[in-house]
Amino acid sequence: MYISELKLWNFRKYGKTEWNLENPHLVVPFKDGINVLIGENDSGKTAIIDAIKLVLKTHAFEWIKVEDEDFYETSNEKSNKLRIEILFDDIKGEEAKNFTEWLGWNGEGVNAKPILRLILQAERKNDKILPYDVRAGMDGVGHQLNAEAREYLKATYLRALRDADSELVAKKNSRLSQILQGHELFKEKDGEEHKFVKWFNKVNENIKTWFNDDTGGENGSSSNKKQIKDIVDAFLHDFIGDSISSDLKLAEPEIKAILEKISLETTGNNLGLGTMNRLYMAIELLHLRKDWDGLKLGLIEELEAHLHPQAQMKVITALQKEKVQFILSTHSPNLASKVDLGNIIICNGNNVFPLANGMTKLEPKNYKYLKRFLDVTKSNLFFAKGVIIVEGWAEEILIPALAEKLGCDLAKHEVSIVNVGSTAYLHFAKIFLRNDGKMINIPVSVVTDLDVRPEQGIFNTQEETKAKTAIQTDFNDFNGTPVQLYIAKRWTLEWCLFKSTLSNIFRESVAEIHSETNQFKKDENGIFKTEFETILIEKLAKSKGTSALDKVAVANVLAEKILKPETQISQSDEYIKYLIDAIKHACRQ
């Protein structure tokens, strides 16, 4: 069994003023296996995980209850009612027997499959949260789940900001002892002592005997009893009375107290935070491997905590091999690049956008391409407030410099540049195009060359119009969306720079990099030679056996020149306007 759907009404940021059970304020579909919640800070990832925890509870004996801050709040009032529904699907026969009286059915006849819907509805009255319970049923109201059924519906939870050093050492109410207490191995059967308790009692008897040993010590020293117990008892007799005596032993032989004396370590020495964190994760996930008929669900917040990128890759790879459901949140592009795109759920605004097959405009060929090329450097698009998709390194280098000069600092606006390294930008842009009627409110600028080269130094305007129309036609599906197309006025980025008001510093940059090319040098009057344009065309077109223009090196030098105080950017320049507009769109300006 696994969670196939979560519905929320007026829970934290997911709410509205109206209340209608037919229209939840948030619906989150989940898949069996890995589900990765991705988004910028405060996008609602933790709220989704906490909602599941409130209904299911965890194996770690945490005190989890609805709090005042869980109710949706507008600018001037707070709702007085919230609701959480969780739907379980693919319930096997051995699992279904635990919930017989609460099950519903999906489908008809022999094809009908059991499903289970849990409901938590809480209300506030006079600023107090009224008593509530978790119910189950398909009628919208349900019936209260008994304690035994709820035991089979607990989740394994890994909190964010894990402190492995503190949680794995022996101490009262340690996390380790809580986890172990929830395991079947430490459940005490009625009328039968656990083996740990029996062993502990034997140890206690040995300790008691040692303290009561009245035989003399070596070299004529006093006995153990005379040195400690007799002295303590003498004070007790004086303080209280002769009927009172001491009894020295370990703590009470209860399973909880015994488990609190256990610590978890590895065989290595001087372990760092990363290794300790993975050790902590291993013990937290203990319940996912146990043999039982209950839920196997792992909830993990910020899996990447204290883990370097390679360690993150190892952990997520291992988790994907487990035949259980995981719902995890992350801020890590490393993790985002390692899971299949269809397992990602983008959290944005007050909604979620699963990237599963059928929910986006992505076609099988797009998923296949992105599986290979959506690496760490490109996965940062999932966490940005704005995205600029470019074709190459030159654009990736120059656009931040232009943006800074325009007062649109990309870092400040949390805008990511995604360099796809080719004209394959549609594969990436379609991530933001939905089939489900939703719209991801992230401005995306796609910057592309026109790619119509001149013939003998002359540009064919008809071919340019044809090429531009073809590019725009491919983008018809994006009309009316935050994904916008910005096409170079003519040929390539470098040609546009050459023709723009930045032409002089562009030429200087080219001359500096290609210092051995005579035609790129200035004449005796300090003026660039007339052959500059001809050789530039040849190098951009890679014609007549000439070497190609070193675009990346030129862009590096040009970016430095753009950032100099004396450089002025003309926002009306028709040759670089497409770059300026792309920057402004991504920065919402």
Edge-to-edge strand ranges of the sheet holding 415-419: 415-419, 386-390, 444-448, 483-487
Dist. CA 330–CA 37, nearest whole Å = 7
Q: Where are the beta strands (DSSP E) in 331-407?
A: 344-348, 351-354, 386-390
Cα torsion 212, 213, 219, 221 to 10°: value is: 20
Structure confidence at residue 285 (pLDDT): 83
DSSP secondary structure code for residue 225 in this structure: I
Pairwise CA distance, residues 25 & 27, whole Å: 7
Q: How many residues does the chain have?
A: 589
Cβ atoms of 96 and 103 within 8 Å: the answer is yes
- What confidence score (pLDDT) does residue 193 get? 85
d(CA 558, CA 578): 18
Instruction: Note every long-range contact of 512-518, with CB atoms under 8 Å and residues 24 or more positions apart, other chains counting.
Output: 512/557, 513/550, 513/553, 513/554, 513/557, 514/539, 514/549, 514/550
Cβ-Cβ contacts under 8 Å for 412 (sequence gap 6 or more) = none
Please name the residue that has the structure tokens 């519905």.
7
Tokens of 118: 């849990």
Low-confidence ranges of the chain (pLDDT < 50): none
Contacts of 51 (CB under 8 A, 6+ apart): 6, 8, 11, 12, 84
pLDDT averaged over every residue in the chain:
89
Report the distance separating Cα 303 and Cα 233, nearest Å.
55
Backbone region of residue 104 per phi and psi (left: phi > 0; alpha: psi in -120 to 50; beta: other values) = beta
CA distance 420 to 374: 9
Asked whether 51 and 84 are in contact (CB, 8 A), the reply is yes
What stretch(es) of the chain map to CATH 3.40.50.300? 2-166+293-348
Q: Which of the 8 DSSP states describes residue 170?
A: S
Q: Where are the beta strands (DSSP E) in 442-528?
A: 444-448, 483-487
pTM of the model: 0.85
Angstrom distance (rounded) from CA 164 to CA 478: 47
Tokens 């100099």 belong to residue: 564
- Measure the CA–CA gap between 561 and 508, rounded to whole angstroms: 9
Pairwise CA distance, residues 552 & 575, whole Å: 20
Strand-strand pairing, 81-89 and 34-38: unpaired
| Exposed e or buried b per residue across 179-199, where buried means at least 16 C-beta atoms within 10 angstroms of its C-beta | bbbbeeebeeeeeeebebbee
CA 217 vs. chain centroid, Å, equals 64
Instruction: Report the run of H or E that residue 504 belongs to, with start and end.
Output: helix 503-513
Give dist(CA 29, CA 2) in Å, integer: 11
DSSP state of 435: S
* Chain-centre distance for alpha carbon 113: 32
d(CA 384, CA 411): 10
CATH number given to 2-166+293-348: 3.40.50.300
